[in-house]
């Protein structure tokens, strides 16, 4: 994967974009700050809306904390509509080890399904890439 960092908040989140598979990989280490949450999602939505990204992998395996109700509201009201307008095909969540974090990520998965995105869960980042390859390899960008 030849990816470029498009957003980074050290100690919290990194957002990478790889044009070849039209994929965004988001690696969360800590949830908590709404501004960081919002800014990272806006960077992702910009790529999807521009038609450059079709897939998002959210790696929260090592993350702590949980998205707040305000964060979830922002995703559902402002981000998912942009994803739909841009033609997002799938969101894959690499499940967190932390039980509290896992409960918090379930809401964005439920909302994603309601918006009509393919929503998957995997145990590892490699599994996420394999899943996308198996289910979406022929999708045009």
Query: How are beta strands 4-9 and 13-18 bridged, if at all?
Result: antiparallel
pLDDT at 88: 94
For residue 125, give the H/E element and its range.
helix 125-136
Length of the chain: 141
DSSP tally for the chain: helices H, then strands E: 5, 6
pLDDT tens readout for residues 112-132 = 777 888 999 999 999 999 999
Write the CATH number of the domain with boundaries 4-136. Answer: 3.30.750.24
pLDDT at 109: 67
Q: Domain-by-domain residue ranges, the chain?
A: 4-136
**HSE of 117, CA atoms in CB hemisphere, 13 A:** 30
pLDDT classification of 136: cutoffs 50, 70, 90: confident
Is the per-residue pLDDT at 139 higher than 80? no
Structure-model confidence comparison of residues 93 and 104, the more confident one:
93
pLDDT at 141: 45
Average pLDDT, the chain: 89
pLDDT tens readout for residues 77-89 = 999 999 999 999 9
CB neighbour class for 38 (10 Å; exposed up to 12, middle 13-18, buried from 19):
middle
Is the per-residue pLDDT at 102 higher than 90? no
pLDDT at 107: 65
Is the per-residue pLDDT at 22 higher than 80? yes
pLDDT at 111: 67
């Amino acid at each position: 994967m030849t990816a470029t960092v498009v957003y980074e908040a050290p100690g919290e989140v990194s957002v990478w974009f790889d044009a070849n598979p039209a994929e965004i990989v988001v690696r969360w280490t800590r949830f908590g700050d709404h501004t960081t949450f919002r800014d990272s999602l806006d960077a992702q939505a910009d790529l999807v809306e521009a038609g450059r990204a079709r897939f998002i992998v959210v790696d929260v395996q090592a993350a702590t904390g949980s998205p707040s109700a305000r964060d979830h509201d922002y995703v559902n009201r402002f981000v998912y509509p942009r994803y739909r307008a841009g033609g997002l095909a799938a969101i894959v969540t690499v499940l967190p080890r932390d039980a509290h974090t896992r409960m918090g990520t379930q809401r964005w998965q439920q909302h994603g399904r309601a918006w009509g995105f393919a929503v998957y869960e995997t145990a590892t980042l490699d599994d996420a890439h394999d899943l996308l390859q198996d289910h979406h390899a022929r999708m045009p960008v």
